Amino acid sequence: MIPAEFDYYRPKDMAGVLSLLEEHGDDARVMAGGHSLIPMMKLRMADVPHLIDLQDVGGLSDIEVGPDAIKIGALVTQADIIDHAGLTNVAPILREAALQIADPQVRYMGTVGGNVANGDPGNDMPGLMQCLDAAFTVVGADGERTIPAREFYEAAYMTAREDDEVLTGVTIPLPKGGYAYEKQKRKIGDYATAAAAVQITKDGGSCVSASIAMTNLSDTPIYSEAAGAALVGTSLDDAALSAAVAAMLGDIDPTEDNRGPVAFKNHVAGVILRRAIERAWSRA
């Protein structure tokens, strides 16, 4: 549980970060809260000869609630999300999800940027961001670009971000309607057996839009467009729910681990999604 030797840097601005990344290439990694990266280094599963701490880079810790969109800086912690009343007013799903991540100690350190950049299928925020159709802003030597969350994840620990790019923030269109983040886990501090993020709008008794994303049921988060589509135009009767679950099951691809075999995970994914949809609908 002792990492290999590494050099530690704490640049004061993004230019400093980018030049270190350029200088050391693959041998350098940025660190935000460190609560995914440091365990990997201690297990010697990540070899990071040059560790660049982002904590002193200014301008990455703000939460801005605008008229159409929310901007969350990369270094905003999960605890900050939970504590921000203005954010909870407009996007309560963020708080509901953040409260189901790890435990308070981890949430004081873990950041939104680290959680979405990490690329671990167990992280909760990637699926959440896909459900909310967020976009990630990254900056590199060639300047800034924006990548939709739904196009960001390629495989476990593989994302559309280049190694020399830094994620600076997340932009989320103001969510509408009812929401739910439903997660089954074995204990506090555990990653999901299955989790579902759902955002639904309705008009009268009929579903107008539905966005659904699942966590830890494939090697990436799964935005299930088909599952959402199965609800639109329905009154969310049992047939519609079953159709949404069936569509979602067609999109996920869970693997067996200590949480259980594939059949169990599929079943639980269905149950969790159903509950999330029902809760979101009741709040829509």
Partner 1 sequence: MKDDITREERVDNLKGMGCSRKRVEDARFTQGKGNYVDDVKLDGMLFGDFVRSPYAHARITNIDTAAALEVPGVLAVLTAADLEPLGLHWMPTLAGDKQMVLADGKVLFQGQEVAFVVAEDRYAAADGIELVEVEYEELPVVVNPFEALKSDVVLREDLVAEDGSIPDGAHGPRKHHNHIFTWDAGDKEPTEEVIANADVVAEETMYYHRTHPCPLETCGCVASMDKVNGKLTLWGTFQAPHAIRTIVSLISGLEEHNIRVISPDIGGGFGNKVGAYPGYVCSVVASIVTGKPVKWIEDRMDNLMTTAFARDYHMTGKISATKEGKITGLHCHVTADHGGFDACADPTKFPAGFMNICTGSYDIPTAYLEVDGVYTNKAPGGVSYRCSFRVTEAVYFIERMIEVLAIKLNMDAAELRRINFIKKEQFPYTAALGWEYDSGDYHTAWDKALKTVDYDGLRAEQAQRVEDFKAGKTRKLMGIGLSFFTEIVGAGPVKNCDILGLGMFDSCEIRIHPTGSAIARLGTISQGQGHATTFAQILASEIGLPADSITIEEGDTDTAPYGLGTYGSRSTPVAGAATAMAGRKIRAKAQMIAAYLLEVHDNDVEFDVDRFVVKGAPEKFKTMKEIAFAAYNQAIPGIEPGLEAVSYYDPPNMTYPFGAYVCVMDIDVDTGVPEIRRFYALDDCGTRINPMIIEGQVHGGLTEALAVALGQEIAYDDMGNCKTGTLMDFFLPTAWEVPNYETDFTVTPSPHHPIGAKGVGESPHVGGVPCFSNAVQDAFRPFGNTHTNMPHDHWRIWKTANELGLHG
Instruction: List interacting residues with partner 1 (CB under 8 A).
Output: 1-2, 4-5, 44, 103, 184, 186-191, 193, 258-261, 263-264, 267-268, 271-272
Q: Which of these, 124, 106, 126, lies nearest to 33 by C-alpha position?
A: 106
**Does 33 help bind ligand FAD (rule: CB under 6 A)?**
yes
Which of 29, 84, 95, 279 is the binder for ligand FAD (CB under 6 A)?
29
**Does 115 help bind ligand FAD (rule: CB under 6 A)?**
yes
* C-alpha count within 13 angstroms, C-beta hemisphere, residue 11: 16
**Does 74 help bind ligand FAD (rule: CB under 6 A)?**
yes
Is the backbone of residue 34 left (phi > 0), alpha (psi -120 to 50) or beta? left
Q: How many CB atoms lie within 10 A of CB 44?
A: 11
Question: With CB cut-offs between 5 and 8 Å by kind, which of ligand FAD, partner 1, none does residue 253 bind?
Answer: none
**Does 94 help bind ligand FAD (rule: CB under 6 A)?**
no
Q: How far is the CB of 139 from ligand FAD (least distance, A)?
A: 9
Amino acid identity of residue 7, one-letter, is D
Tokens 């924006």 appear where?
A: 146
**Does 166 help bind ligand FAD (rule: CB under 6 A)?**
yes
Q: How far is the CB of 183 from ligand FAD (least distance, A)?
A: 8
CB–CB of 280/273 below 8 Å? no
Pairing of strands 143-148, 135-140: antiparallel
Q: How far is the CB of 89 from ligand FAD (least distance, A)?
A: 23
Question: With CB cut-offs between 5 and 8 Å by kind, which of ligand FAD, partner 1, none does residue 44 bind?
Answer: partner 1
Nearer to ligand FAD, 147 or 208 (CB): 147
Q: Report the interhelical angle of 238-251 vs 262-283 (nearest 10°).
A: 130
**Does 14 help bind ligand FAD (rule: CB under 6 A)?**
no
Q: How far apart are CA 75 and CA 83, in angstroms?
A: 15
Q: How far is the CB of 86 from partner 1 (least distance, A)?
A: 28
* Sign (positive or negative) of CA dihedral 245, 248, 254, 258: negative
Question: With CB cut-offs between 5 and 8 Å by kind, which of partner 1, ligand FAD, none does residue 258 bind?
Answer: partner 1
Nearer to partner 1, 77 or 193 (CB): 193
**Which stretch, 26-34, 84-92, 227-235, 238-246, contacts ligand FAD (CB under 6 A)?**
26-34
Order of strands across the sheet with 194-203? 178-184, 194-203, 206-215, 222-223
Nearer to ligand FAD, 54 or 210 (CB): 54
| The pair of three-digit structure tokens given for residue 265, joined into one six-digit string | 């995970």
Under 8 Å CB-to-CB from 257, ≥6 apart: which residues?
none
Nearer to partner 1, 25 or 261 (CB): 261
| The pair of three-digit structure tokens given for residue 267, joined into one six-digit string | 């079943």
Q: Which residue is nearest to ligand FAD (CB)?
A: 114
Site for ligand FAD in 211-250 (CB under 6 A): none
Pairing of strands 50-53, 28-31: parallel
CB–CB of 236/204 below 8 Å? no
Residues in contact with ligand FAD by the rule CB under 6 A: 29-37, 39, 54, 74, 101-102, 106, 109-111, 113-115, 117-118, 123-125, 166-167, 189, 191
